[in-house]
């Protein structure tokens, strides 16, 4: 077991870090404040190969592994977790198209996705079925032989209104997961509409809206795979999505730890720097230890997914649960170490804290992660 990065990994990690430092960090506070979607910066990231990280090279992707992706997303999120997380969602849709799409679909959408000429969103959650995703109600009825007519609504969709392509889970059959299919819906399709952007605690560089379908006519040719395969695609996508969002948590927490270290070295109280107080040294030691433990879990889960290990889903759930909880706590401790300054936007710690809070909810809440882990444990027994 080798924990050192390969030369190739060192190279693309350095590229991601430089890009994040130069193109994301200087603007992240403004994007958050003004709720601005950084389309041009995302296109620049795409130019570095970050819009199709684990899409096969034969399709124009970067052809890297899930572990490689985790390394990249940590670097990007160390500057801006919100923008990095949107890019991870875009990557998920590109991967689904590359893995399950046919040649016609790939030719039509993939080049534009990989260059971020168009942006993609993932539509699973509904107002009445959040954690119980298999109970979704958005319906796709046959409309002749060549089209579906979609009716229903999705909730909390990242990129709603700004994305150009929506990978949407719909019910084409009976109740339960086997009745769910996945269709690609293009922005501008009659019957597709968006709610007003939600006013959120964090993740403000990407809009979040409801997505509504009212007699929305979509070609059957836009369905990924066969009818009834959509839920399986969704769950496979979520395994990788959980690693990505955990990696984004690593980046945000690492940035906060670094900010806290800089602050305690400089700030003086009672005649000495804060870094000289043993109580604060212990706090920093715990933050660093927990961050490293979380990183090891995320990388282990990513390696399991790359190897198609039978316990990959369990490891992804464990890594997501642990990393998102621990990393949010690290951000909170960093804010506490800054005292009142941590609560002020100029110091940026509060932005990371707000952005990382939602990571414990999305891609399956951490309570659902515990359900998945427990089920896998009991199955093994």
**Angstrom distance (rounded) from CA 145 to CA 143:** 6
Q: What is the pLDDT of residue 381?
A: 64
Q: What is the pLDDT of residue 131?
A: 78
Tell which residue, 126, 189, 131, has the closest CA to residue 156: 126
Q: Annotated catalytic residue: which of 40, 363, 367, 379?
A: 363
| 363 is an active site residue | yes
For the four alpha carbons of 76, 95, 303 and 377, in that order, the dihedral sign comes to positive
The C-alpha angle with vertex 169 and arms to 121 and 209, in degrees rounded to 5, equals 45
Q: What is the pLDDT of residue 132?
A: 81
Q: What is the pLDDT of residue 322?
A: 98
What's the per-residue H, E or C state across 39-74?
HHHHHHHHHCCCCCCCCCHHHCCCCCCHHHHHHHHH
Q: What is the pLDDT of residue 93?
A: 97
- In the chain, the domains with their CATH numbers are 7-114 (1.10.540.10), 120-228 (2.40.110.10), 231-380 (1.20.140.10)
Average pLDDT of adjacent 10-residue blocks, the chain of 381 residues: 92 98 98 98 98 97 98 98 98 97 98 98 90 88 95 97 98 93 98 97 97 98 97 94 98 98 97 97 98 98 97 97 98 98 96 98 96 93 64
* Percent above pLDDT 70 for the chain: 100
**Residues in Cβ contact with 57 at an 8 Å cutoff, skipping those fewer than 6 apart:** 63
**CB neighbours (10 Å) of residue 344?**
11
Question: Mean pLDDT for the chain?
Answer: 96
Residue that has been written with the tokens 């992240």 in this structure: 28
Q: For residue 142, list its beta bridge partners.
A: 148
């Amino acid at each position: 077991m080798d924990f050192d990065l390969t030369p190739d990994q060192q190279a693309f990690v350095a590229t991601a870090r430089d890009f994040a430092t130069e193109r994301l960090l200087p603007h992240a506070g403004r994007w958050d404040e003004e709720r601005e979607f950084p389309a041009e910066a995302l296109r620049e990231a795409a130019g570095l190969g970050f819009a199709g990280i684990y899409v096969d090279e034969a399709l124009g992707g970067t052809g890297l592994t899930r572990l490689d992706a985790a390394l990249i997303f940590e670097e990007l999120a160390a500057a801006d977790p919100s923008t990095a997380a949107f890019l991870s969602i875009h990557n998920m849709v590109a991967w689904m198209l590359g893995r399950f799409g046919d040649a016609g679909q790939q030719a039509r959408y993939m080049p534009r996705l990989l260059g971020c000429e168009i942006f993609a969103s993932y539509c699973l959650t509904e107002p009445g079925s959040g954690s119980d995703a298999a109970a979704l109600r958005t319906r796709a009825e046959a409309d002749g032989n060549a089209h579906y007519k979609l009716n229903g609504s999705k909730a909390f969709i990242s990129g709603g209104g700004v994305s150009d392509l929506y990978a949407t889970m719909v019910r084409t059959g009976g109740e339960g997961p086997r009745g769910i299919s996945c269709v690609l819906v293009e922005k501008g399709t009659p019957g597709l509409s968006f709610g007003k952007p939600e006013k959120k605690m964090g993740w403000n560089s990407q809009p979040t809206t409801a997505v509504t379908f009212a007699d929305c006519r979509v070609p059957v040719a836009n369905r990924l795979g066969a009818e009834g395969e959509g839920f399986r695609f969704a769950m496979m996508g979520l395994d990788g999505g959980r690693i990505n969002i955990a990696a984004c948590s690593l980046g945000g927490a690492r940035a906060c730890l670094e900010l806290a270290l800089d602050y305690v070295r400089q700030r003086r109280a009672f005649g000495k720097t804060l870094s000289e107080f043993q109580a604060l040294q212990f706090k920093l030691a715990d933050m660093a230890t927990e961050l490293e433990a979380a990183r090891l879990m995320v990388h282990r889960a990513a390696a399991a997914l790359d190897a198609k290990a039978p316990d990959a889903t369990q490891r992804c759930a464990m890594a997501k649960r642990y990393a998102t909880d621990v990393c949010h706590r690290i951000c909170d401790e960093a804010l506490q170490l800054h005292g009142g300054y941590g609560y002020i936007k100029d110091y940026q710690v509060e932005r990371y804290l707000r952005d990382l809070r939602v990571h414990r909810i999305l891609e399956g809440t951490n309570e659902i992660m515990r359900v998945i882990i427990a089920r896998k444990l009991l199955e093994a027994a």
